[in-house]
Amino acid sequence: MKFFADTAEIADIRDLAATGLLDGVTTNPSLIAKSGRDFMEVTREICGIVDGPVSAEVVALDHEGMMREAEVLRKIADNVCIKVPLTIDGLKTCKALTSDGTMVNVTLCFSASQALLAAKAGATFISPFVGRHDDNGFDGMQLIADIRLIYDNYDFATEILVASVRHGIHVLEAAKIGADVMTAPPAVIKGLVKHVLTDKGIEGFMADWAKTGQSIG
């Protein structure tokens, strides 16, 4: 499963990229606002750090406006992936852009039927929001399982990008279902490394090593 960081914070992206864990980045208008940075500038910087897809979201709601914005955004770098909302205009834009070889991430997906439409429109990625789905009394992981089933039934190439990930269990369940990608805040990705027995093991080894009085090198 590929790991994308759901952030526009450069320091976090650099830090994760250095671990070799990072396959891409997703941003959205809220994350750009939180960063306090200029959209174009920060997107260009992220594209220079990460080789994989960097999702940059259009803010126009009509097809023509989305196409105009996508034209500007895709000039930033070759690894820009245009993010469009799951609306009829978004799907039209998805079809037009992917037919032209541009990567498209269809975002704000909350049903398997919506995911089917995005795949038919040729989406590179579909982003079902599991956390927000859970928050509203639905089962986010069941949504991922349903989309996986449908995409496999018809051999769709669209990659399932599990979004709105809130904790490690979301990541684990997404991997068990066979989602292609997950995007999570850096803290969630880093949290995956934590295990109380790892910490306890290190503590024990350090204590025993100190007793030897030796050093390495």
CA–CA gap between residue 102 and residue 81 (Å, rounded)? 7
Q: Does 132 bind ligand E4P (CB under 6 A)?
A: yes
| 114 binds ligand E4P per the rule CB under 6 A | no
Q: Does 95 interact with ligand E4P (rule: CB under 6 A)?
A: no
43 binds ligand E4P (CB under 6 A): no
55-94 footprint of ligand E4P as x/- string (CB under 6 A) = ----------------------------------------
Which entry of 34, 83, 194, 211 is annotated as an active-site residue?
A: 83
* One of 110, 129, 151, 156 touching ligand E4P (CB under 6 A): 129
Binding ligand E4P (rule: CB under 6 A), the pick from 98, 102, 107, 114 is 107
Quote the least distance from Cβ 162 to ligand E4P, whole Å: 9
Task: Quickly count: other Cβ atoms within 10 Å of residue 161's Cβ.
Answer: 28
Residue with smaller CB distance to ligand E4P, 29 or 201:
29
DSSP the chain: -EEEEE---HHHHHHHHTTT---EEE--HHHHHHHTS-HHHHHHHHHHH-SS-EEEE----SHHHHHHHHHHHHTS-TTEEEEEESSHHHHHHHHHHHHTT--EEEEEE-SHHHHHHHHHTT-SEEEEBHHHHHHTTS-HHHHHHHHHHHHHHHT---EEEEBS--SHHHHHHHHHHT-SEEEE-HHHHHHTT--HHHHHHHHHHHHHHHHHT----
Residues 142-161 interacting with ligand E4P (rule: CB under 6 A): none
Among 122, 183, 188, 189, binds ligand E4P (CB under 6 A): 183
6 binds ligand E4P (CB under 6 A): yes
Catalytic residue at 34?
no
Shortest reach from residue 165's CB to ligand E4P, in Å: 7
The catalytic residue positions are 83
User: What are the residues binding ligand E4P (CB under 6 A)?
Assistant: 6, 26, 28, 107, 127, 129, 131-132, 163-164, 183
